C-alpha cells in the first residue's frame, strides 16, 4: 500500500492506494473517527451491486451501524434532490456530528457524498472510496464537492476535505474501457502540466497500463501526489491550483456545446490539443514538444482536436463560472511538465486561438 499525505490549509489527511486497499477500511475508519457510531454509505446503481457489500462488511466488522443511500448512476442525478435524500436518511437514522459519510463510486458519487457531509449538521466527516480512474486521480482528492443545477455543472458546492481517501486499484477491473480512457484525459494532463516522470512512464507503457496492476497503482500514486502537491499549496483555487484547468477552459465549451453528450475527459483532451497548437503558433511551445504530447494522447486513445471555431470557444469561455471579472485565466504549457497561468481579455484569447 502506498500513502500520499495531503496537507491542505484546512485539513491534513492521507490517501491510501493499493490493490485490495478496501480491506483496511474498517480499521482506518475506527482509528480516524473513534467517536463515530454510524456510517452512511453513498453509492449508485452501477457500483453498489459490485462493491457495497464489501464496504458494508468492513464497516460492520469494525462495529459501525451502517445505512446506505444508493442513487441512479449518472451525472443527471448529481442534484439537490439526491442530496436531500441523503440528509433525510441521516436524520432518520439519528446521525450526530461525530458520525460519518462514505462515498463509494466515481466522481459523481464522491462529489455528492462530500457535499452531503459538508452540509449535514454544518459538516461531518467523509471518507472517499473512489472507484473510477478519474475519481482516484482527481475528483476525490482536494476537497471540491458539489452538485449541478439546471444553469450549469458544479454551480453549487463547498470546499470540504475528506478525512481519508481509500483507493482500491482492484476496483478498476470492472470500469468500462471508455470510462477508463476518459480518466486518462486527467492523467495525461498531470503529466503535461507538472510531471515529466509520469510523462516518461506513460510513454514507455505504450498505451497499456490497465493490464499491469502494479504499474497502474504506481501511475495512480504519481497522479495523486501531483494533485496533493497543488492542493497543499493552494487549497482554494486562487493560484497554482488553476493550472489543473489546463485544457478545461476550451474543453468545457466543447462539452457544453455538445449538450453534455461528449464525455468530459474527451473534451479536455481536445481542449489541451487546441491550446498546444495555439502555443506553438505563439512561439511559447516547441512544435516537437507539442507533437510528443499529442502522440501521448493518441497512444491512450484520446483526441487532440475539434471542429469548434475560435469564436464559439471565446463566447462560451466568457460565460464560464471560472472566469473572474473580465479576464480569463488561460493555462499554457511551455514545455512538457511545466505550466503557466496567463490572464487574457476576450480579444486577446480570440487572437491567441486564431492567429
Ligand atoms: N471534485 C473535483 O475536484 C472533481 C474533479 C474532476 C471531476 N469531478 C466530477 O466528477 C464527475 C465525473 O467523474 P466520473 O467520470 O468518475 O463519473 P461517474 O461517477 O459518473 O462514473 C463514470 C461511470 O463509471 C461507472 N463506474 C464507476 N466506477 C466503476 C467501477 N469500478 N466499475 C464499474 N463501473 C464504474 C459509473 O457508474 C458511471 O457510469 C463529474 O461530475 C465531475 O464534475 C470532480
Ligand atoms: Zn477535468
Atom 18 in ligand 1: residue holding the nearest Cα: 106
Probe target for ligand 1 pocket from 51, 83, 135, with the most ligand atoms within 8 Å of CB: 135
Q: Quick check: 169 and 216 in contact, CB under 8 A? A: yes
CA 139 → CA 108, 142, 335, distances in Å?
9, 7, 26
Specify whether the backbone of 321 is left (phi greater than 0), alpha (psi in -120 to 50) or beta.
alpha
Please give the DSSP secondary-structure letter assigned to residue 9.
S
- Which ligand is located closest to the Cα atom of residue 252? 2
Q: What is the DSSP letter of 287?
A: H
pLDDT at 152: 87
pLDDT of residue 34: 98
What cell does 2 get?
502506498
**Per-residue pLDDT, 355:** 75
Other beta carbons within 10 Å of 334: 13
Q: Do 240 and 152 fall into the same domain? A: no
Q: Is the pLDDT of residue 320 over 80?
A: no
Same domain, yes or no: 160 and 203: no
Residues 109 and 205 in one domain: no
What's the pLDDT tens digit per position in 229-246? 999 999 999 899 999 999
User: Any idea which of 130-134, 198-202, 248-252, 320-324 has the lowest mean pLDDT?
Assistant: 320-324
Which residue range is the domain that position 88 belongs to?
2-174
The answer to whether 164 and 113 have CB atoms below 8 angstroms apart is no
- Domain stops at, among 174, 204, 222: 174
Closest approach atom of ligand 1 to CA 263: 15
If asked whether residues 153 and 16 sit together in one domain, one would say yes
Residue 62 above 70 pLDDT? yes
How many domains, in total, are found in the chain? 2
- DSSP characters over 209-246: -SS-HHHHHHHHHHHHHHHHHHHHH-TTSSSGGGGGGT
Amino acid at each position: 500500500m502506498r500513502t500520499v499525505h495531503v496537507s491542505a490549509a484546512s485539513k491534513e489527511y492521507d490517501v491510501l492506494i493499493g490493490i485490495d486497499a478496501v480491506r483496511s477500511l474498517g480499521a482506518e475508519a475506527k482509528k480516524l473517527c473513534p467517536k463515530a457510531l454510524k456510517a452512511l454509505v453513498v453509492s449508485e446503481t452501477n457500483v453498489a451491486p459490485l462493491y457495497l457489500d464489501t464496504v458494508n462488511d468492513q464497516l460492520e466488522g469494525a462495529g459501525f451501524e451502517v445505512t446506505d443511500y444508493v442513487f441512479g448512476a449518472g451525472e443527471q442525478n448529481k442534484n439537490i434532490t439526491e442530496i436531500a435524500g441523503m440528509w433525510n436518511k441521516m436524520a432518520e437514522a439519528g446521525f450526530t456530528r461525530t458520525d460519518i459519510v462514505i462515498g463509494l463510486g466515481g466522481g459523481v458519487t464522491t462529489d455528492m457524498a462530500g457535499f452531503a457531509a459538508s452540509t449535514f449538521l454544518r459538516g461531518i466527516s467523509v471518507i472517499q472510496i473512489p472507484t473510477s480512474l478519474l475519481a482516484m486521480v482527481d475528483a476525490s482528492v482536494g476537497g471540491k464537492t458539489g452538485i449541478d443545477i439546471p444553469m450549469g455543472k458544479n454551480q453549487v458546492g463547498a470546499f470540504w476535505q475528506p478525512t481519508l481517501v481509500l483507493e482500491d486499484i482492484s476496483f478498476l477491473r470492472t470500469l468500462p474501457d471508455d470510462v477508463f480512457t476518459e480518466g486518462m484525459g486527467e492523467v495525461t494532463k498531470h503529466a503535461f502540466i507538472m510531471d515529466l516522470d509520469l510523462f516518461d512512464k506513460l510513454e514507455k507503457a505504450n498505451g497499456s497500463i490497465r493490464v499491469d496492476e502494479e504499474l497502474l497503482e504506481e501511475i495512480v500514486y504519481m497522479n495523486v501526489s501531483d494533485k496533493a502537491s497543488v492542493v497543499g499549496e493552494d487549497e482554494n483555487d486562487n493560484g497554482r491550483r488553476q493550472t489543473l484547468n489546463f485544457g478545461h477552459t476550451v474543453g468545457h465549451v466543447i462539452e457544453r456545446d455538445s449538450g453534455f453528450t461528449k464525455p468530459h475527459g474527451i473534451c479536455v483532451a481536445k481542449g489541451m490539443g487546441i491550446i498546444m497548437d495555439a502555443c506553438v503558433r505563439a512561439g511559447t511551445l516547441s512544435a516537437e514538444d507539442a507533437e510528443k504530447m499529442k502522440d501521448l494522447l493518441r497512444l491512450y486513445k484520446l483526441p487532440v482536436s475539434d471542429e469548434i471555431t475560435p469564436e464559439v470557444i471565446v463566447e462560451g469561455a466568457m460565460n464560464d463560472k471560472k472566469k473572474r471579472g473580465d479576464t480569463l485565466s488561460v493555462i499554457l504549457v511551455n514545455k512538457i511538465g511545466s505550466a503557466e497561468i496567463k490572464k487574457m481579455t476576450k480579444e486577446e484569447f480570440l487572437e491567441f486561438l486564431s492567429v
